[in-house]
Structure 1
Amino acid sequence: MRNINYYNLILLDLSYVHEVDWTANLTDFDWVYRVTQAGFDYSRGEVVEVATLRINRKDDLRQVFNSLRKHDIDIVYFMGINPGYPKYVKVIVKGNIDLSTRFLAQELGLLEVYAYYTNGVEHWGGFLAFNRESIDQFLKEVINYGKVINESLKALKIEDLIAANTSKLDVFLNSSEYRVLKYAFERGFFNIPRSISMDELSKELGLSKSTIDRYIRSSLSKILKAIIWREN
């Protein structure tokens, strides 16, 4: 397990031209592709995205689909949400995991908060990291596939994230995430210095350290998404 400091969270906000991906060459018209859900099929080496595409003209929609196919990205499903243009299209696509920005981030221990692509630029707002080393390594590797236009880092405190959403935690966390995060917070796991260790948490909750780690990571990512969506 990575050596994680849960009271030293960092949010990376990134604008990126992914030069080997389908997004980079679509710059001569306006479009927005907002990812609402993503996952990985490790057995097939694929990344799967559910997204909403906003497009202004039928010819532009054709160009987007052609670019997807040109880059060996399968369009599993698409459906127009509204009549006429500008049109919103719900799409599900599958692509090679090796060229995925989000897969690289996950392999380095970063948590994706949300992503949208527009006019040839990928906007990641962003990735939640538990140490600066993971971010530095990610930025070092991501330039092998494109160009970073802008990046910014923001330090976060766990108590601020939780305090901002205390009344709503049980709404957007599942029962296991809520129980573990609440217990860890109340027992002082996020205090400086810590009032309880991961080993002690594991014994008291009757869960493995890796399971507790997974629940905490997932919880923090959901909390941050809720804050960003509320602000926007």
Structure 2
Amino acid sequence: MAILGILFLPWALFSARGARAACKTYCVWVRFTARVLCGLRTELRGEVPTGEVLIAAKHQSFLDIILIFSVVPAGKFIMKRELMYAPVIGQYALKIGCVPVERGKRGQAIAKMLRDVEQGAAEPGQLIIYPQGSRIAPGVRAPFKVGAALLYEQTGQTCVPAATNVGLFWPRKGILRKPGLAVVEFLPPIAPGLDRETFLKRLEQEVETASNALMLEAGFDVEKDLA
């Protein structure tokens, strides 16, 4: 990451396109080396979102970030403000349009982002949020927070849910990587217009059901293995 960050820096300093190219190159490199060195294959399923949409994704490890960003045209993440100060990651994240938010001030950050897009100061793209707010280990139950519903309501955009099983092979903590097939699956879109409660309930049901199915396909039965 550091090497690519330095190599692309002259281009990335003056161009969001350059920063995005650096990030996508890194994603390709990680997917390639994971397969060669660890036997960890990766796959994207479903229709890849394009245009200006909201992607609400299951988050199990750093790998699902890499997989999603590697295929969407102009992905940008809702991220914790502290990540702005992380070496390489923070600087490139800001350049590609990621939205840093402080606890309790998410609405202000999103409103500014929408204004910037409308006024031409920022590029439109695929806004990616993790509804559970953090990496969640496979099989662990955690509520979907209201922030995703507020974002869906505020942007008025179609939401594309995304399920995954990547945590079975690339854990949220530690350096062990296991062989297998790590999948991110884009699910059928949810049209704008649902009320907050209905949207959040539907989002959680669809993402969790699809993620459990992907984990079962990989040999992990949520109900039995955690019983």
TM range (shorter): under 0.3
| Structure-2-length-normalised TM-score | 0.22
| Structure-1-length-normalised TM-score | 0.21
Larger Rg: 1
